[in-house]
Chain A
Amino acid sequence: MSRVVFLEERCKGCRLCVAACPCGILRPSGRFNRHGYEVMEQAGTCSGCASCAVMCPDVAIRVFRSVKAKEGAA
């Protein structure tokens, strides 16, 4: 299964990643970073499409794709 990693201290809680995820698996986590922003979490099966990371203005997301998953644009 593919997965995303949030660099939580970079996150500003904007939720653009949540809106961008075509699988609808990202959500606010209820946890806050040291700047006071609510950070996001993965809650479901990730396709590794990187849409969330493409939209993140703070480059707070890294995407690891399972190589068995479909290859596509990064």
Chain B
Amino acid sequence: MDAHALEAALRPADGEKCVFDTNPVLNERLTHYCPGCLHGVAHRLVSEVLHEPDLAPRTILVAAVGCATFTYDYFNVDGLEAPHGRACAVATGVRRARPEAVVFTYQGDGDMAAIGLAESLHAANRGERITSIFINNTVYGMTGGQMAPTTLLGQKTTTTPEGRCLAREGGPVHLAEIMAGLEGVAFAARCALDSVAHVRAAKKALRRAFEVQIQNLGFGFLELLSSCPTNWHMDPVTAARHVAESMIPVFPLGVFKDKAAAPSGKPSDAANESEHTAGGAADA
């Protein structure tokens, strides 16, 4: 299709309405992600949540190290780069210096759950008013597919060539559940990006993860089960199916904590928190 034909095709005809479009928070740059990598879907969700309502002008993104290091190139928001694993520590400084800002980190499982676990847990435990998006793709994607803390038992990676073994490497870390157990965390959930229904549920959870920060309730955390077709040596459709068949049974979906949903809505009112596990709640 040439440029003229494309322009014409993008105009709704009489009796037609555009029901899916991009938004101004996501810029037009093509991402560097591999074909079918679900980082791109996560990016679109973030852009939509920052666009409706219009939070982008006061948003500051703290990028991590991993395949999404250049994530600040794709959003029309302010952004800066943190050292590997330290995005929550950097975001703490940003949010305390600019209390009016909406601050979020976007981190992989290697970044947040391995090298940056201490900084992440302590920022969450302090109840920093930031939102962290945690992309669980069970590997270090950027560096070629080494084991991550989230690697499944039996999963072959370049550093577990015979498969991850419980006795040797420990089991997969369930960060959403760990986060939910910390007093400073106002929202903690796990969603998946493998299917249309799950992506739609993920957007709702993502909105809550930002709302708790804006309502000054505490730390917002959302884990997103994602894919790495390249290092999993799978085509993108098979990789998405692998998320559904192999990851979700190990990493149950759900909202594990939501202080914003508590009847009293008070940050310290831990006893009245509505807590849910596995499934359902994220789709509510």
Contact = CB atoms under 8 A, between A and B. Distances in A.
A interacts with B:
yes
Interface in A29-73: 37, 48, 50-51, 53-59, 61-68, 73
B19 A63 contact: yes
Contacts of B41: 54-57
Given A10-B30, A20-B196, A55-B41, A64 B237 contact: no
Interface string B107-127: 000000000000000000000
Interface stretch (B32-40, B61-69, B128-136, B154-162): B32-40
B26 A68 contact: no
Contact of A61 (B16, B20, B30, B235): B20
A7 B20 CA distance: 13
Interface in B10-28: 10, 12-13, 15-22, 26
Contacts of B146: none
A13 interface: yes
Interface centre among A37, A62, A66, A73 (most CB of B within 10 A): A62
A65 B19 contact: yes
Interface residues of B, number: 36
B17 A59 contact: no
B18 A63 contact: yes
A5 B35 contact: no
A59 B44 contact: yes
Determine the main DSSP class of A at the interface with B. mixed
Contacts of A67: 15-17
Given A8-B1, A16-B240, A57-B37, A74 B19 contact: yes
Interface residues of A, number: 36
B40 to A, nearest CB: 3
Contact of B36 (A8, A57, A61): A57
A7 B30 CA distance: 11
Contacts of A56: 40-41
Contact of B13 (A50, A64, A74): A64
A55 B199 contact: yes
Interface of B: 1, 6, 9-10, 12-13, 15-22, 26, 30-31, 33-41, 44, 195-196, 199-200, 229, 235-237, 240
Q: Which 8 A-B pairs have the closest CB atoms?
A: A57-B40, A14-B36, A12-B35, A63-B20, A53-B20, A14-B236, A14-B35, A50-B20
